[in-house]
């Protein structure tokens, strides 16, 4: 499938989404055109019947014409069903295609994008903004085409009846056009504000629901309610501005339509007085003016739908035009076999604000060895590890895996060989089986069980009422912290990567649970190259090397015993933690 160019003009880009659904689109437009022609027939047939068939007593022909007209309206009814059903179905498919594109693109974006965008706002982009596109994609082209055909057709027929009166009616059209152009910009701005405030209110809802346990724990429900009320009030104000603009717009349109009707009767009466029209022509003219004004109203509705839909589409396009900070180089190599030799060569890193996080970091870790990274919070330990799988790119130096600069290989093949266990384990709202299978989606049930056994969680899973089919709730709320951590370990066992990163994997657990998890982690680390971010220094006893990160640098690097004997930064951390542990033991006694 050809990649879309999201830098194109929004209307051209929007039109490109019709291509896969062209048959449905053409059927919808054909049915709309057929219904349009049926509407144009009625006044003309009425005039012909009143002027010719009935006065000449051509009753057979009259009823034949009525039968044809009835058949035309039956066909119109079928066309209306197709327009309503298949037309909306086409709109939903376009919306679904766009939603697939945006979600696929968001999955490719780097961590830095999610650092600056709230989940609720992104959800609004994926759901609410695209919802209005369904109506635009269906009714937009249909209304535009039928309005143009009806207005042109009605005007041509009006000219055949009384062209001076037709020109008088036509003179009102520029007023409508100027009025529409003037209010289109105002409606566009108001609609964009509504979209923005909708995103903010969704973000507030998402935050309130996600943090409900914390809010209850601190009895801050009223504060959360006030936050939501502020976002809700802003949303109401934006809607108020939108509806006010829309109200003025529709009032102007209705006034223009009423002016056409008054002009028709007034000018038509004048022409009857002058003998240039008869009553049948005026009735026919009046019917056609009604036919003429309906598409003008449709155009007004189209402007509203177009403004709302394109406001959502422009926000969609803005995300699709957001480049991924981390991208594969052209011709990037694919890592097949990985031993696990890691090298950081004069690595520096800073976020977009320019504040340095790491400066001139260098070390080598042979395959099968374990490096423990320790140091105060905020020193750059987690960032150090996130550079290896390219969650962020270095701003200086290079990171190598088996001699390959990680920027020269594909992200997918690189990350396929790295297993990561974090302190905050994300558990999907699915079954235990599917959560473990996330480590390798093609794994068999037997392999899932084997991974759970190695992670020492199998017995606890089997003790649950539905075993591996137990639903774990939102973010695994029905599991304990230790169970979630061992579930994440089972995922990595299933993935079986040669490189392992443990980001303070046990720091949030109690001592007893930590010991059980540590046993699983030690088994997991066997034969793998491991980098462990350690909060509790007791977890580094099996590490081959210890790196102390302070002030954006590695200030010490070496075996644990050597660093303790040196009496430097690591020794001070060790003594401080021993002292804290002693105080805790004294309190317990």
Radius of gyration of the chain (CA): 35
Residue 221 within any structural domain of the chain:
yes
pLDDT, tens digit (0-9, with 9 covering 90-100), for 361-390: 999 999 999 998 988 877 788 889 889 989
Alpha-carbon distances of 379 from 116, 148, 351, 552, 559, rounded to whole Å: 21, 66, 14, 6, 20
Which of 496, 513, 539 marks a domain boundary?
Answer: 496
Q: b/e for 4-35, b at 16 or more Cβ within 10 A?
A: eebeeeeeebbeebbeebeebbebbbebbebb
Same domain for 40 and 160 = yes
Domain-embedded: residue 35: yes
> Is 524 a residue whose pLDDT tops 80?
no
Query: What's the average model confidence in pLDDT over 518-540?
Result: 78
User: Is 325 among the domain residues?
Assistant: no
Whether 339 and 473 map to the same domain: the answer is: no
365 and 272 share one domain = no
Highest mean pLDDT among 46-50, 200-204, 390-394, 503-507: 390-394
Q: What is the mean pLDDT of residues 294-320?
A: 77
- Residue 364, pLDDT score: 93
CATH of the domain at 441: 3.40.50.300
Query: How many angstroms separate the CA atoms of 365 and 327, rounded?
Result: 26
Q: What percent of the chain has pLDDT over 90?
A: 10
One domain, residues 204 and 343: no
Residue-wise pLDDT tens digits, 1-49:
456 777 777 778 888 888 888 998 999 889 988 888 887 877 777 777 7
pLDDT single digits (tens) 158-177: 788 778 877 887 777 777 76
- Please choose, from the candidates 364, 346, 344, 345, the residue with its C-alpha nearest in 3D space to the C-alpha of residue 558: 364
For residue 185, what pLDDT is reported? 66
Residue, of 252 and 539, whose pLDDT is higher = 252
Rounded-to-10 torsion of CA 246, 249, 253, 255: 110
Please report whether residue 117 resides in a domain.
yes
pLDDT 10s digits, 217-250: 556 677 777 777 887 787 778 778 777 877 877 7
Co-location of 147 and 257 in the same domain: yes
Nearest to 448 by CA among 517, 496, 494, 498: 494
pLDDT band at 583 (very low <50, low <70, confident <90, very high): very low
Residue 546 shares a structural domain with residue 512: yes
Q: What domain range is 402 assigned to? A: 335-417+499-589
| Residues 99 and 229 reside in one and the same domain | yes
* Whether pLDDT at 585 is above 50: no
Question: In this structure, is residue 476 part of a structural domain?
Answer: yes
Distance CA 306, CA 300 (A): 10
Domain count, the chain: 3
Kindly state whether residues 141 and 231 are assigned to the same domain.
yes
Highest mean pLDDT among 291-295, 298-302, 423-427: 423-427
In-domain check, residue 5: no
Note the pLDDT tens digit of each residue in 62-114.
888 888 888 888 998 898 898 888 888 888 888 888 888 888 888 888 777 77
358 closest CA partner among 536, 555, 111, 544: 555
**Is the same domain home to 508 and 472?**
no
What CATH code is carried by the domain that includes residue 34? Answer: 1.20.1560.10
CA angle, 382 then 384 then 389, to 5°: 95
14 and 163 share one domain: yes
| pTM score | 0.66
Return d(Cα 406, Cα 388) in angstroms, integer. 7
pLDDT over threshold 80, residue 132 = no
> Looking at residues 522-551, what average pLDDT do you find?
82
- Among 320, 349, 373, identify where a domain stops: 320
Band (pLDDT 50/70/90 cuts) for residue 210 is low
237 lies in some domain:
yes
Q: Is the pLDDT of residue 215 over 50?
A: yes
- Mean pLDDT taken over the chain: 80
Sheet holding 545-550, edge to edge: 418-422, 499-503, 529-533, 370-374, 545-550, 553-558
At 342, is the pLDDT very low, low, confident or very high (cuts 50, 70, 90)? very high
Instruction: State which of 453, 471, 496 marks the end of a domain.
Output: 496
Task: Pick the more confident residue, 58 or 298.
Answer: 58
> What would the mean pLDDT of 257-265 be, rounded to a whole number?
77
Whether the pLDDT of residue 511 is over 70: the answer is no
What is the per-residue pLDDT across 109-128, written as a single tens digit (0 to 9) for each?
877 777 777 777 777 777 77
260 and 301 in a common domain: yes
Residue 588 has pLDDT above 50, yes or no: no
pLDDT digits (tens, 9 = 90+) for 436-452: 888 888 889 999 999 88
**Same domain, residue pair 252 and 230:** yes
Most confident of 212-221, 272-281, 406-415, 563-572: 406-415
User: CA 295 to CA 517: how far, in whole Å?
Assistant: 70
| 329 within some domain | no
- Confidence at residue 581, expressed as pLDDT on a 0 to 100 scale: 47
């Amino acid at each position: 499938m050809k990649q879309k160019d999201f830098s194109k003009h929004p209307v051209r880009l929007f039109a490109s989404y019709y291509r896969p659904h062209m048959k449905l689109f053409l059927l919808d437009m054909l049915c709309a055109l057929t219904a349009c022609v049926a509407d144009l027939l009625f006044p003309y047939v009425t005039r012909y019947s009143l002027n010719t068939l009935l006065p000449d007593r051509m009753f057979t022909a009259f009823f034949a014409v009525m039968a044809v007209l009835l058949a035309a309206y039956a066909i119109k009814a079928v066309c209306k069903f197709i327009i309503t059903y298949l037309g909306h179905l086409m709109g939903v498919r376009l919306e679904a295609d766009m939603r697939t594109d945006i979600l696929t693109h968001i999955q490719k974006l780097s961590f830095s994008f999610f650092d600056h965008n709230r989940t609720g706002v992104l959800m609004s982009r994926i759901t609410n903004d695209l919802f209005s596109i369904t109506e635009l994609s269906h009714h937009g082209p249909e209304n535009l085409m039928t309005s143009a055909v009806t207005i042109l057709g009605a005007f041509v027929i009006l000219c055949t009846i009384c062209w001076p009166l037709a020109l008088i009616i036509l003179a009102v059209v520029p007023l409508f056009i100027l009025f529409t152009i003037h209010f289109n910009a105002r409606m566009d701005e108001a609609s964009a504000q509504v979209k923005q405030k909708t995103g903010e209110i969704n973000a507030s809802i998402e935050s309130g629901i996600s943090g409900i346990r914390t809010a209850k724990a601190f009895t801050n429900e009223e504060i959360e309610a006030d936050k939501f009320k502020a976002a809700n009030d802003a949303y109401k104000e934006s809607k108020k501005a939108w509806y006010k603009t829309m109200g003025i717009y529709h009032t102007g349109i209705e006034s223009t339509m009423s002016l056409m009707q008054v002009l028709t009767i007034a000018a038509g009466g004048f022409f009857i007085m002058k003998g240039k029209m008869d009553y049948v022509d005026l009735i026919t003219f009046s019917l056609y003016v009604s036919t003429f004004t309906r598409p003008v109203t449709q155009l007004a509705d189209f402007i509203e739908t177009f403004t709302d839909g394109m406001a959502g589409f422009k926000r969609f396009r803005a995300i699709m035009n957001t480049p991924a900070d981390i991208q594969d180089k052209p011709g990037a190599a694919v890592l097949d076999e990985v031993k696990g030799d890691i090298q950081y060569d004069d690595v520096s890193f800073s976020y977009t604000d320019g504040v340095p996080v790491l400066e001139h970091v260098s070390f080598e870790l042979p395959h099968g060895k374990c490096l423990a990274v320790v140091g105060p919070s905020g020193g750059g330990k987690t960032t150090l590890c996130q550079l290896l799988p390219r969650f962020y790119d270095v701003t200086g130096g290079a990171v190598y895996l088996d001699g390959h600069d990680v920027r020269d290989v594909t992200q997918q093949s690189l990350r396929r060989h790295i297993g990561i266990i974090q302190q905050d384990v994300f558990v999907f709202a699915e079954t235990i089986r599917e959560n473990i299978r996330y480590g390798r989606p093609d794994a068999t049930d037997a392999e899932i069980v084997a991974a759970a056994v190695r992670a020492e969680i199998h017995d606890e899973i089997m003790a649950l009422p539905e075993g591996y089919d137990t639903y774990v709730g939102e973010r695994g709320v029905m599991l304990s912290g230790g169970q979630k951590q061992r579930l994440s370990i089972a995922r990595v066992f299933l993935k079986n990567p040669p490189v392992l990163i443990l980001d303070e994997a046990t720091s949030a657990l109690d001592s007893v649970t930590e010991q059980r998890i540590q046993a699983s982690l030690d088994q997991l680390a066997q034969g793998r190259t491991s980098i462990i971010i350690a909060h509790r220094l007791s977890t580094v006893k099996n590490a081959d090397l210890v790196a102390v990160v302070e002030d954006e640098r590695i200030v010490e690097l070496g075996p644990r015993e050597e660093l303790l004997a040196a009496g430097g930064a690591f020794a001070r951390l060790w003594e401080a933690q021993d002292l804290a542990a002693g105080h805790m033991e004294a309190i317990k006694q």
